[in-house]
Amino acid sequence: MTEKLVIIGNGMAPGRMLEHLIEKAPDRYEVTIFNAEPRVNYDRIMLSPVLSGEKEYEEIIIHGDGWYIKHGITLYKGHRIVAIDRDARTVTSDHGVTETYDKLVIATGSVPFILPVPGKDLPGVITYRDLDDVQAMLLAAQSREKAVVIGGGLLGLEAAAGLAGRGMDVTVLHVMPTLMDRQLDPAAGYLLEKELEGRGIKIICKANTKAIVGNGKVEGIELDDGRIIPATLVVMAVGIRPSVGLAKEAGLAVNRGIVVDQGMQTSDGHIWALGECAEVGGMVYGLVAPLYEMARVAASHLAGERSAAFVHSDTPTKLKVTGIELFSLGDFADGDDREEIVLRDAAAGVYKRVVLKGNRIIGTVLYGETADGAWFNDLKKKETDVSEMRQTLIFGQAFQGGAPLDPMAAVAALPDDAEICGCNGVCKGKIVSTIAGKGLTSLDDVRAHTKASASCGSCTGLVEQLMTLTLGESYSPAAVQPMCGCTDLGHDEVRRLIKAKGLKTIPAVMQELEWKTSCGCAKCRPALNYYLVCDFPDEYADDYQSRFINERVHANIQKDGTYSVVPRMWGGVTNSGELRAIADVVDKFEIPLVKVTGGQRIDLLGIEKEDLPAVWADLGKAGFISGQAYAKGLRTVKTCVGSDWCRFGTQDSTGLGIRIEKFMWGSWTPAKLKMAVSGCPRNCAEATCKDIGVICVDSGFEIHFAGAAGLDIKGTEVLGLVRTEDEALEHIVALTQMYREQARYLERIYKWAKRIGLDEIRRQIMDDTDKRKAFFDRFVFSQKFAQVDPWSERVSGKDKHEFRPMATIGYPQAAE
């Protein structure tokens, strides 16, 4: 026989309680929920990112409608319970629905505290509690007028940062001398104030609000010193009060909150209470971690396990404002029996303070650098005697006991019971054992199974490090990284789906793969454009608006908005006629700088955009085509003089370089592709740090690939040795096509090769003749459409609009 469980309130605490209960006793109860808010259970901690625009409401839903249906739970949305009849065991909603219960859970949460000042009821005065408040703030922010936030605590500052980010002129009024005085000491409060002021938020501390003024709507705030702060929006974030009215009327024991025992039971044996409305051990709570602990305890009792008990523990605090690192824990007031260790780095904006009592940590404040927060929390929780490490304690865990400064080492060194996720109270051991036990491989899996990093997300980095520790090389966070914020799919998945579904336009890809934005972003659009150019060279119409400016105007943008132009010089070889033509162009257009590049080309810098077509026209007359020095495509083939001139040369390296360049120019690749051919192993063309290189030897041509000489420096790997020039060209072209078809956009060949495996590449290019020929043929086909000189196209009038202003206005008529 199922019992009837009724829950009043549908916030995060009862939501979590139900998850536990469904796990422990899936069929014991028939559950009915009354939610005063007209919606499902969402992550209230994430309202600030919704306000700032970093998240959408849909992304912060914890339980969608489907979850309630799946578990047979009845959810009354927008029903406020107005009466509890304890004798009849019924509750009644404001819409007149009456439900009987065997067991009742009260989770009415809290209500924002409203300052009892004149004008508090004026339109334009709001609180910051639920999604309706956020929507009201977003609406008000459209005006971009002035807003005042009363309250410089956690919520108030998140609201202020969000409103400022939305374009409002924000002033924060705080009654205490420094911000977040309950979580921060004055020094950290000062740093925070400076940071926020740097972002354009005005802060007034020791500000006592006397009245909210306005005629029919808010016009400003009057302080008790007589100052008036103008505002069209006032957000009150001065604290919360447990919502206990209903419980009180029902005759339950109520103090500040609804009084419950350590099993979350109220003074009535059929009624439990949890969340912000509950008072346990004389304390009420507002942070999510203890509320989730209450949920765990209440679920155990409802499932019949009467031994579970709620125990108080300090919860670290973090501020969810992008770019502000702040951590606070425990008690950090000064005292005669206390000692403190302080580290300040003014230049870096770092402040750290650890408060000790009897050689044990009782409080910690970290500002600017919070990576050691978990470690300090662990030391405090365990009451570790820190006298041995006092000298270096403040520098953090990495400096203890000569441990190496490897970022992984710090995580590896954490004990199993160290708390990683503060919101959900998940420790390292639980995460590691769940990854291993359930064979988890993705961050989303770990979130789903352990709840770690599933609430505020600030521990995501730590969780990923644990995954790397547990799974080793097989987990690379990049492997599950979405292309960008517009999709959850990674590059490889997108490439595979483009082929599988035959998607041939960017809108088709976005539609079929359910892009989350209307027209993508500057990250995904160039990538998609490349994938389509590569996969459908004959059918796809290149979308210039999805190309980076350099590839759109076929020149390189410089810091001052001018462009540089690099004509192609095959294999780095030129002659007097070409040089004369360049010299004439330099004089005619007064080009300020002429420079020789690392790829054996001549770079003309400082050309105005409007002049580009004329510059190209003159260069084109001398036989030059674009050097594509801007392209994610074939750039240069650098050569040495080889057997024609050099006494050591073994083959015609210059000739081979020119041949490769003439064969491959114009091709687009995932990232830039630079090559070189050296005539002997002395390697004067520096071929062994190129994307693809050739070292000529007496017996033939040694083909190299996967070198790097930029952010990373890496010598090439040998692909193999071939005997003739024809074979060398075929192998190089096939390798390039394999890279074109498989790599992720902006992934250089050495990164792709590392991911795919060198042996696999050798197998497909060196050993598998059919594969190699097929790659070669596909490249040749694609070149039919790619080998069009973009400069001469534009000289003939293509994309004219790119190079001319739309209009010239505001000058005196005579100037025309």
Partner 1 sequence: MTWFAIGNIADIPLRGARCVKTPQGKIAVFRTAENEAFAIEDHCPHKGGPLSQGIVHAKAVTCPLHNWVISLETGRALGADEGAVKTIALRNDDGALFIALESLMMAAE
CB of 519 to partner 1, least distance (A): 4
Between CA 661 and CA 679 the distance in angstroms is 16
CB of 145 to partner 1, least distance (A): 13
CB of 368 to partner 1, least distance (A): 16
Which lies closer to partner 1 via its Cβ, residue 193 or residue 314? 193
Which lies closer to partner 1 via its Cβ, residue 283 or residue 549? 549
CB of 318 to partner 1, least distance (A): 16
Which lies closer to partner 1 via its Cβ, residue 54 or residue 130? 54
Label the pairing between strands 271-273 and 103-106. parallel
Which lies closer to partner 1 via its Cβ, residue 380 or residue 525? 525
CB of 805 to partner 1, least distance (A): 5
Helix H or strand E encompassing 591 = none
Helix H or strand E encompassing 702 = strand 700-705
DSSP state of 687: G
Which lies closer to partner 1 via its Cβ, residue 165 or residue 363? 165
Tokens for 602?
A: 């001549």
CB of 201 to partner 1, least distance (A): 11
419 three-class SS: strand
Query: Residue 794: what residue type?
Result: R
Which lies closer to partner 1 via its Cβ, residue 380 or residue 547? 547
Which lies closer to partner 1 via its Cβ, residue 324 or residue 656? 324
DSSP characters over 508-570:
HHHHHTT-SSSS--TTHHHHHHHHHHHH-TTT----GGGS-HHHHHTSEE-TTS-EEE-B--G
CB of 509 to partner 1, least distance (A): 14
Give the Cβ contact number of residue 417 at 10 Å: 12
Footprint on this chain of partner 1 (rule: CB under 8 A): 53-54, 144, 165, 167, 198-200, 322-323, 517-522, 525-526, 544-550, 553, 557, 559-561, 801, 805-812
Which lies closer to partner 1 via its Cβ, residue 544 or residue 645? 544
Helix H or strand E encompassing 726 = helix 725-742
CB of 518 to partner 1, least distance (A): 6
CB of 522 to partner 1, least distance (A): 3
Task: Decide if 358 contacts 338 (C-beta within 8 A).
Answer: no
CB of 123 to partner 1, least distance (A): 24
Please, what is the angle between helix 653-664 and helix 725-742, to 10°?
A: 40
Give CA separation, 621 vs 613, 618, 732, in Å: 12, 5, 32
Which lies closer to partner 1 via its Cβ, residue 610 or residue 760? 610
The upper half-sphere exposure of residue 784, i.e. CA atoms within 13 Å in the direction of its Cβ, equals 9
Task: Decide if 137 contacts 112 (C-beta within 8 A).
Answer: no
Tokens 């050296």, located at residue: 678
Which lies closer to partner 1 via its Cβ, residue 108 or residue 562? 562
Task: Decide if 201 contacts 223 (C-beta within 8 A).
Answer: no
Task: Decide if 554 contacts 542 (C-beta within 8 A).
Answer: no
What residues does 278 pair with on adjacent strands?
Answer: 258
416 three-class SS: coil
